[in-house]
Every structure is written in structure tokens, then in C-alpha cells.
């Protein structure tokens, strides 16, 4: 069946780099373009958050290069990763750069693609399902819902320096962004929650931490914004954090938790609010 689905998808020419999103975890969330890319790759340069079952789509002969880094901080290896991609492409390889989630969402795919452009290397982008949408869906949290929010805002909790981004208007976000989805924010959650509350956000707003979303280790913890800093101390990264009324829908929509009976945590007070 896969072969019929893959028929007609593009051929991977030597000397090209394809920047591919692997999705948040579950190998079933890889796209057909992603599988098509893996099947043809000579070299796969992959990140920490990519499931090993996804890598198995690559030919046995493919060279697998681990380029993992964690925490979202600027890493001295980013430049060397980019240089490596360029070198491999110049050597005539089909180079697959495989990233967690979507390559263009907080994944430095834009930076890598710009470097490829500067080096004159042709490339293709294969989008993936980003953790802030697909990961939340696995926790039963829709990014939008007609009754609660007409917009959703994605924020990184880490700037280039590793600090809470200071180029954001936290006050505007506090009052103007009904649903906020944070990436790379577990460590700084206390400070982020304080900035939002100082900016006028209701301290009772619902918050969900979804760690290892769409993997066998997925865990969801809910709390109020005022407790988010404290709660974050027990949350394992990687996690996406949702703030806003959509979190309340989880009590009714937690399809995954129902299947895994008891593994997923819902705090009693949010479950009760949602029930009311």
C-alpha cells in the first residue's frame, strides 16, 4: 500500500538537502513526503527528538548522523551542523535533515535553509506536524475552538541567549492572546507566568503541560496559571504548554487518556470546572 501512496512523489536528486519534519513523536505522524525522503536518502542528519522507528525507513546503506541538542539554547554545534549539510551536499549526497515536529517552527529550519541558499545548495522543505498542535491533540486539547478562541499564539520560552524572550510584548500577549502555546518553556515557566499575570492575565487561567507528547512516555499535568511555575518543577522536557480555555475541553476530549486508563493526570479542580 505504501508504494502506491508514494508513487508520484518527487525523486531525491544527488546534491540536494531536504529539510524534513518528523512530527512530534508517534511514527504514524510522519508524512508520506517524509517516508519518500527517508527511503531515498544517502545521509540522514537527525535530531534528538526523532523516534528510532522513523529512522528505520532509511535504507540500511544510509549514513545516520546524530545532531541532537536539547534545551533550545544556542549551540556551538549549530554552525557545524549547517557546514556538514553543505559539505555532504557538495559531495553529491542526497542529504536528509530530519527534525522533530515541523522544521520551520522553532526548529532552526529557516536558519539552515538560509545557509543552504547562501551556499547555492538546492533544497526542499517537507513540513511536519508541530508539537504545539499535534502534541496537544494527543492530550485532547484543540488549538482552537469556535466558542473559546479565534486565535492561537505560539511562543518560545527561550530566546537566542537562553533567557525568557525580552522582545515580546508580554502585556499585549497577556490580554490579547486567548490561547498561548509555549515551546521550550518548562525551565522558565515561573517567570513567564509572572509576566503574563503582571500583564493582566487571569491567574486562574487553565494550564496544561504535555510532556513527551505523542510518545509512549506522554504525560499531562494541569494546573492554574498562578501555580504553573511550581508545577513546572516536576515536568519533564520536552513539553508543550497550553494556556487558556481550550485546556478545559480536555476533560471531555482526552481520548488518549481514556485508552491508557489512569496514566494521564488531570487535576481534580480543572476536571470539576470543565464538568460544570
Catalytic machinery residues = 47, 69, 184
Could you say whether residue 264 binds ligand SAH (CB under 6 A)?
Answer: no
Q: Which stretch binds ligand SAH (CB under 6 A): 2-10, 115-123, 211-219, 252-260?
A: 211-219
For ligand SAH, the binding residue among 212, 231, 267, 270 (CB under 6 A) is: 212
CB of 136 to ligand SAH, least distance (A): 9
| Contact (CB, 8 A) for 202 and 177 | no
| Contact (CB, 8 A) for 99 and 20 | yes
| Contact (CB, 8 A) for 107 and 183 | no
CB of 14 to ligand SAH, least distance (A): 27
Nearest to 31 by CA among 54, 8, 53: 54
Nearest to 178 by CA among 148, 158, 204: 148
Residue 248 CA to residue 138 CA, distance in Å, equals 15
For ligand SAH, the binding residue among 27, 34, 72, 142 (CB under 6 A) is: 72
CB-wise, 82 or 211, nearer to ligand SAH? 211
CB-wise, 93 or 96, nearer to ligand SAH? 96
Lookup: cell for 64: 545516520
Could you say whether residue 40 binds ligand SAH (CB under 6 A)?
Answer: no
CB-wise, 42 or 155, nearer to ligand SAH? 155
For ligand SAH, the binding residue among 17, 41, 44, 105 (CB under 6 A) is: 105
**205-243: burial string, b at 16+ Cβ within 10 Å, e else:** bbbbbbbbbbbeebbbbbbbbbbbbebbeebeebbbbbb
Nearest to 24 by CA among 45, 47, 58: 47
CB-wise, 107 or 248, nearer to ligand SAH? 107
CB of 255 to ligand SAH, least distance (A): 17
**166-176: burial string, b at 16+ Cβ within 10 Å, e else:** eeeebeebbee
Binding track, positions 112-131, relative to ligand SAH; x by CB under 6 A: ------------------xx
Could you say whether residue 239 binds ligand SAH (CB under 6 A)?
Answer: yes
Amino acid at each position: 500500500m505504501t508504494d502506491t501512496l508514494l508513487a508520484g512523489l518527487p525523486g531525491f536528486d544527488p546534491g540536494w538537502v531536504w529539510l524534513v519534519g518528523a512530527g512530534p513523536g508517534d511514527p504514524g505522524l510522519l508524512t508520506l513526503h517524509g517516508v519518500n525522503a527517508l527511503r531515498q536518502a544517502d545521509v540522514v542528519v537527525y535530531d534528538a527528538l526523532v523516534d528510532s522507528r522513523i529512522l528505520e525507513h532509511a535504507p540500511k546503506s544510509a549514513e545516520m548522523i546524530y545532531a541532537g541538542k536539547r534545551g533550545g539554547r544556542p549551540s556551538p554545534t549549530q554552525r557545524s551542523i549547517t557546514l556538514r549539510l553543505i559539505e555532504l551536499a557538495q559531495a553529491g549526497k542526497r542529504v536528509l535533515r530530519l527534525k522533530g515536529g515541523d522544521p520551520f517552527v522553532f526548529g532552526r529550519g529557516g536558519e539552515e535553509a538560509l545557509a543552504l541558499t547562501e551556499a547555492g545548495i538546492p533544497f526542499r522543505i517537507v513540513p511536519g506536524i508541530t508539537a504545539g498542535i499535534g502534541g496537544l491533540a494527543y492530550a485532547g486539547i484543540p488549538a482552537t475552538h469556535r466558542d473559546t478562541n479565534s486565535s492561537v499564539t505560539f511562543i518560545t520560552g527561550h530566546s537566542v541567549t537562553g533567557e525568557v524572550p525580552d522582545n515580546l510584548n508580554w502585556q499585549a500577549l497577556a490580554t490579547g492572546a486567548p490561547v498561548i502555546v509555549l515551546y521550550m518553556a518548562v525551565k522558565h515557566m515561573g517567570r513567564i507566568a509572572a509576566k503574563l499575570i503582571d500583564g493582566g492575565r487571569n491567574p486562574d487561567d487553565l494550564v496544561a503541560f504535555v510532556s513527551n507528547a505523542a510518545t509512549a512516555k506522554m504525560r499531562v499535568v494541569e494546573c492554574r496559571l498562578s501555580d504553573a511555575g511550581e508545577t513546572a518543577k516536576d515536568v519533564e522536557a520536552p513539553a508543550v504548554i497550553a494556556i487558556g480555555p481550550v485546556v478545559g475541553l480536555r476533560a471531555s476530549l482526552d481520548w488518549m487518556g481514556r485508552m491508557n486508563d489512569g496514566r494521564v493526570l488531570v487535576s481534580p479542580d480543572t476536571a470539576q470546572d470543565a464538568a460544570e
